[in-house]
Amino acid sequence: MTSQTARTLGASLRYEFRMQVRKRSVWIVPALTVVLFLLIGGSLLRDLFDPNERKGQPAEARTAVVGLAVQVHALLSIGFGCLLADRLIRDDRLRVAPILDATPARPGARLVGKYLGAGAATAVPILVVYFGFAAAYAVHTDAPQALGWALATCAVVIVPGLLFVAAFALTLPLVMPAPLFRVIFVGYWLWGNVVVPDMMPTLARTLVHPLGGYPLDALLDFHGIDGDDTWAGPVPGATLNFLRPAPTPTTAWLSIAVLLVVAAAALAGGHAVRARRA
């Protein structure tokens, strides 16, 4: 990476982050989502502050904060993807894309800066919610190790999943209207993460699972709050089992790598579409 490319990427990242993090919708959407979820279900707090838990047990702290991550990630990533759907196409709508393309700044570096900056800003409320609940749990149960598990879970589950979602949320609206993308994305998120694999073909429990099934299973040893859930691996009679190897630390890291490679491919495709239009 040349110094000019690095400067372009850094400047784009900083500008996009500052602009996106100040948007009211970036904070209002996740806040309303959490409030609605707590009013309807309440399982987030019930699982986290179970009075029957024994204080200070590392395994219980791990189970609590990893389970919290699954719920926060599954719930708030929907709004995350929808909020990012207009970030790239807005340059065209405001007719500033030709002006930016005429500058010496490399378009690819600007795209990556926009991707990382806008994605990081949109993820800030999600991380505030997650680490806020994790810190409350650590204080409530006198289990400071919960914060360590929260950081590890964020690194191997939440961050790769959000990077995957952000890449498609930025680039797919280049080839379809943003409202249509949002509808398709919500349907995909439910289909790819909620549907049971033996009921219909789905990406759930595969290597291409943005909820991080393989890291949850093989790296964090998480099997649900009650210990009965399976997050990765083959399902008897299900289609796409070739994408469901047995969960091991190797396949867990492979799953993370697959998500990042697919995200990079989506960005490359978006860059090619922009270059062809230019």
Give one DSSP letter per residue of 58-126, joined into a string: HHHHHHHHHHHHHHHHHHHHHHHHHHHTTTTHHHHHTT-HHHHHTSSS-HHHHHHHHHHHHHHHHHHHH
Give pLDDT tens digits for 180-225: 999 999 999 988 887 777 778 888 899 999 999 999 999 999 988 7
The letter for the amino acid at 44 is L
Give pLDDT tens digits for 244-267: 999 999 999 999 999 999 999 999
pLDDT band at 94 (very low <50, low <70, confident <90, very high): low
Mean pLDDT of the chain: 86
Question: Is the pTM here over 0.85, yes or no?
Answer: yes
What φ, ψ does residue 231 adopt, rounded to 5°?
-110, -15
Give pLDDT tens digits for 27-47: 999 999 888 877 776 555 666
Structure tokens, 151: 């950081």
- State whether residue 212 is helix, strand or coil: coil
